[in-house]
């Protein structure tokens, strides 16, 4: 089945509620969309929201790549050869994970529709459902508790709490959440590179009784080796996020001694479904757990 047309465009999507993380406040998300239309009229859709702070690629750059002559020349190619098309795309855009993610997702979607099965079934679905966490941005204690109450009423039972600006306030927020809700929530923390080793140790010591499931990316990218000062049982709770940009990095982080016990895989960081599967394959024999995240993309 031939590719009949390709369309790329951008949409600015306003968040229902802005939220703050360690290095910025987010109120609007710029998403790049890619549509791949097959000769039989089926349309595969991909989307990208690359963060320049994380992957050195902006949505504008991704849109320019997706509107390039190289992408336009995919028209006429056979969707059944989507793996070969992705190999060529990686050669063309080696340092553009957002571009690659949009292409990867759109090609997978079109191919899955062509087969008449979901992509997850094509690869072999093993887990039927996963609990979805909901994120509370950085805010004061009272607002944090109010947000948690609203999310509980909506049925969420897993909270991810953003931290990293003020460790003392972070500690109080986590303690108050556990005090108010007991074991009603599974609680995760995302520091977004906001801690030093000393403030991380302070946070860990003060919240030990709060039963935090995991802590994402506590230290800035490049300081991963500092985490080796922590005991193995503590490192097993730490999740690589901004540090984990692709399979090559995953291979390094999987070597002993491991700074992280968890990999947070995001398609926008690694370049799509195929790269995500490669990271998962590396993690399995290294006994590293997986945590799947998104960067406010749709599609």
Tokens of 287: 């006994």
pLDDT recorded at residue 16: 60
Counting Cα atoms < 13 Å in the Cβ hemisphere of 96 gives: 21
Q: In this structure, are 226 and 273 located in the same domain?
A: yes
Q: What is the largest CA-CA distance in the chain?
A: 60
pLDDT recorded at residue 24: 59
Query: Are 26 and 18 within 8 A, CB to CB?
Result: yes
Q: In this structure, are 38 and 171 located in the same domain?
A: no
pLDDT recorded at residue 27: 57
Q: In this structure, are 258 and 181 located in the same domain?
A: yes
Q: In this structure, are 287 and 141 located in the same domain?
A: yes
Q: In this structure, are 163 and 186 located in the same domain?
A: yes
Of 2, 51, 7, nearest in space to 33 by CA: 7
Tokens of 223: 């300081």
pLDDT recorded at residue 299: 37
* Of the residues 121, 147, 177, the one at which a domain ends: 121
Q: In this structure, are 95 and 140 located in the same domain?
A: no
Tokens of 217: 């990316």
Tokens of 77: 């190619």
Q: Is residue 129 domain-resident? A: no
pLDDT recorded at residue 294: 75
As a whole number, mean pLDDT of residues 79-107 equals 97
Q: Torsions phi, psi of 274, nearest 5? A: -65, -45
pLDDT band at 127 (very low <50, low <70, confident <90, very high): confident
Q: In this structure, are 236 and 144 located in the same domain?
A: yes
Q: Is residue 197 domain-resident? A: yes
Q: Torsions phi, psi of 188, nearest 5? A: -120, 155
With both helix axes pointing from N to C terminus, report the angle between 167-181 and 141-153 in degrees, rounded to the nearest 10: 40
d(CA 60, CA 199): 36
* Of the residues 121, 142, 168, the one at which a domain ends: 121
Q: How many structural domains are present in the chain? A: 2
Q: What CATH number is associated with residue 237?
A: 3.20.20.120
Of the chain, the percentage scoring pLDDT greater than 90 comes to: 85
pLDDT band at 191 (very low <50, low <70, confident <90, very high): very high
Q: Is residue 273 domain-resident? A: yes
DSSP assignment of 52-77, as one string? HHHHS--HHHHHHHHTSHHHHTTTTS
Q: In this structure, are 154 and 263 located in the same domain?
A: yes
d(CA 251, CA 278): 10
d(CA 196, CA 164): 9
* Of the residues 100, 121, 142, the one at which a domain ends: 121
Range of the domain at 9: 3-121
Query: Are 158 and 185 within 8 A, CB to CB?
Result: yes
- Does residue 26 have a pLDDT over 60? yes
Q: Is residue 78 domain-resident? A: yes
Of the chain, the percentage scoring pLDDT greater than 70 comes to: 93
- Does residue 295 have a pLDDT over 90? no
d(CA 197, CA 234): 13
- Kindly state the helix (H) or strand (E) to which residue 20 belongs, with its residue range: strand 3-21
d(CA 220, CA 57): 18
Cα-based distances in Å from 285 to 113, 127, 256: 32, 19, 12
pLDDT recorded at residue 298: 41
Contacts of 57 (CB under 8 A, 6+ apart): 50, 95, 96, 97, 98, 99
Of 40, 43, 38, 36, nearest in space to 8 by CA: 36
Q: In this structure, are 266 and 149 located in the same domain?
A: yes
Q: Torsions phi, psi of 115, nearest 5? A: -75, -25
Over the chain, what is the mean pLDDT? 93
Q: In this structure, are 244 and 177 located in the same domain?
A: yes
- Does residue 198 have a pLDDT over 60? yes
| pLDDT (tens digit per residue) in 215-270 | 999 999 999 999 999 999 999 999 999 999 999 999 999 999 999 999 999 999 99
Q: In this structure, are 104 and 49 located in the same domain?
A: yes
Q: What CATH number is associated with residue 44?
A: 3.30.390.10
């Amino acid at each position: 089945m031939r590719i009949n047309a390709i369309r790329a465009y951008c949409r600015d999507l306003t968040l229902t509620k802005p939220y703050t993380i360690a290095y910025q406040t987010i109120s609007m998300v710029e998403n790049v969309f890619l549509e791949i239309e097959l000769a039989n009229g089926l349309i595969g859709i991909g989307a990208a929201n690359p963060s320049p702070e994380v992957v050195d690629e902006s949505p504008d750059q991704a849109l320019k790549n997706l509107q390039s002559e190289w992408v336009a020349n995919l028209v006429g190619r056979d969707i059944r050869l989507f793996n070969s098309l992705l190999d060529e795309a990686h050669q063309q855009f080696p340092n553009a994970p957002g571009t690659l993610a949009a292409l990867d997702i759109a090609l997978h979607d079109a191919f899955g529709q062509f087969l008449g099965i979901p992509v997850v079934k094509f690869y072999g679905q093993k887990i039927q459902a996963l609990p979805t966490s909901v994120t509370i941005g950085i805010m004061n204690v009272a607002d944090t508790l109010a947000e948690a109450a609203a999310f509980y009423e909506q049925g969420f039972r897993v909270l991810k709490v953003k931290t990293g600006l003020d460790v003392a306030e972070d500690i109080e927020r986590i303690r108050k959440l556990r005090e108010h809700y007991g074991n009603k929530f599974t609680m995760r923390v995302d520091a977004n590179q906001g801690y030093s080793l000393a403030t991380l140790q302070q946070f860990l010591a003060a919240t030990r009784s709060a039963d935090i499931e995991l802590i994402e990316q506590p230290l800035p990218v490049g300081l991963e080796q500092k985490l080796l000062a922590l005991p193995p049982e503590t490192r097993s709770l730490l999740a690589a996020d901004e540090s984990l940009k692709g399979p090559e990095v995953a291979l390094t982080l999987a070597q002993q001694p491991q700074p992280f016990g968890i990999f947070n895989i995001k398609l926008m960081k690694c370049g799509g479904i195929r790269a995500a599967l490669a990271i998962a394959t590396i993690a399995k024999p290294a006994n590293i757990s997986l945590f799947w995240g998104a960067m406010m993309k749709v599609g």
